[in-house]
Amino acid sequence: MTVTAQNSIWNIDPAHSVAEFKVKHMMIANVKGYFSKITGVLTRDESNVANSSVEVSIEADIFVTSLELASRAETAARGRLEQLLHPLRGGADGRGWEFGRSIGKSDVFAALEKIDEIDRVENLRFRFRGQSDPDRVVIGPNELLASGEHRLAVKKA
């Protein structure tokens, strides 16, 4: 990210980004597709706070039912957390986060309890804006949640 006096500039990472689309075919059916190799730059006007987001990272100990399943459990947990915290496709219902909607422990527990290989989650903490909180992340009314870098310690139940 590059910051100038009025703008933040973000480069789109083509290795981790896709552009999805849906078109109506012959007025009968919707056809979905995507472009997997995209590049671009996003520029945000710093004077417009409605474009703000809060990157949230999660630290937790995940206890697996079997050490043989540890790698699969960790991969599934990371994927579930990134899905949960996606600003546009995240949230409990997969329809994105509302501006100003905070996240709490129960949101994370609900997402991770769906993974069969995980017995339980302990020592969950949120990291955001250089802070750490064991219970929740409170954001402003014009902000959206976004997924950060998660630290998961896998342990045997």
pLDDT in tens, 113-138: 899 999 999 999 999 888 888 899 99
Q: How many domains does the chain have?
A: 2
The two tokens of residue 144 are 């959206």
**Are 83 and 8 within one domain?**
no
**Are 72 and 139 within one domain?**
yes
Containing structural domain, residue 16? 2-45
**Are 30 and 107 within one domain?**
no
**Are 84 and 71 within one domain?**
yes
**Are 41 and 57 within one domain?**
no
**Are 60 and 18 within one domain?**
no
Q: Where are the alpha helices (DSSP H) in 85-138?
A: 105-112
| 43-77 pLDDT tens trace | 556 666 555 666 778 999 999 988 888 999 999 99
Full-model pTM = 0.67
The answer to whether residues 23 and 16 touch, using CB atoms and an 8 Å cutoff, is: no
If you compute the radius of gyration of the chain from its CA atoms, what whole number of angstroms results?
Answer: 18
